[in-house]
Chains A and B, each alone.
Chain A
Amino acid sequence: MGAELMGNDIVKQYETVIHWVQEATKQVFATMLDLEIKCGAVRSDHRTSVQSAGIMTMVGMAGGVSGSGCLCFSKRFACRLASRFLMSEYREVDDDVLDAAAELGNMVVGGLKTFLEEKSGPMGLSVPTVVCGENYLTRTAPTGDRLVLDFTCGEGAEQERFTVTVCLITERKNRNYLNEMAEFHARLV
């Protein structure tokens, strides 16, 4: 799999999913961008984390497995990716760069969805949302398991790092989560 697995249960439990995420990401970068990327460490992250990456693309998944996938990268790398993707030079983040980031996220999470559907049945994807900013907090529902996968692209001074974060809730956990939400709303009423 080429990844340095951190020795915790959640990461081990999701070894196959991690492999799928890595394959989907490598395929998108190789096919659409003609870029070779390397898989790095994988960790189970805290649910609240500070994002300083610059650009984050989020795509939701729903079905037998629910959750979300996020791509996080620097603004500089986003411009480089958009330049290759759209075959034009981009030096600053604009609508085209954000559209390219959205589509890359859509394709990576779409690739993961294809793998997941073989095991879990039909799933749906949300429309991608792109966030551009610095040092913001993100948090996902407490029911999900959240994995952060590191990747690198290029070598030396040109090397760029980016992450793909996946939060997954299985159908069983999903039902529990919905029950918790229903109870929470009942208490509010």
Chain B
Amino acid sequence: MPLNILIVDDSAAIRKILQRVLRQTDVPIGEVYEAGDGVEALELMKTQKVGLILSDINMPKMDGLQLLSKLKANESWKMVPIVMITTEGSQNKVVEAVNLGAAGYVRKPFTAEQIKDKLASVL
């Protein structure tokens, strides 16, 4: 069954790159939704069935860690795997994300192969 994916990043360029990388994977992809911040992402989650989320950490309005907390606190969404994709080099934030329930993380700059490998390990 095709997998619907949500990309959450305030950079339109990164959203576009991730869209392209996702289409190059062997994973059967359904719809790819985009959100510019955590608030938009939560709104989208209310109306769409999403099987995987790729999220930035540093974003306006609601950052990736806040989004992660809210998703993991929700019965309907807590099983959706979330991969953090971020320029955030601070080990504290990465550890916090993993403690909050992130399935993994990829640091920017990333290669297409790194994204593909991460998807393969998470799915």
Contact = CB atoms under 8 A, between A and B. Distances in A.
Contacts of B88: 110
A125 B110 contact: no
A32 B109 contact: yes
Interface of A: 27-28, 31-32, 82, 85-87, 95-96, 99-100, 102-103, 106-107, 110-111, 113-115, 117, 122-123, 125, 127
B48 interface: no
Contacts of B89: 110-111, 113-115, 117
A86 B17 contact: yes
Q: For B10, B16, B87, B88, which residue has the most chain A Cβ atoms within 10 angstroms?
A: B87
B109 A127 contact: no
Contacts, number: 60
B110 A127 contact: no
A99 B14 CA distance: 9
12 contacts: A86-B13, A86-B16, A100-B13, A102-B11, A103-B13, A107-B87, A107-B109, A111-B89, A114-B89, A115-B89, A117-B90, A127-B10
Contacts of A95: 12
B92 interface: yes
Contacts of A113: 87, 89
A95 to B, nearest CB: 8
Contacts of A115: 89
A99 B12 contact: yes
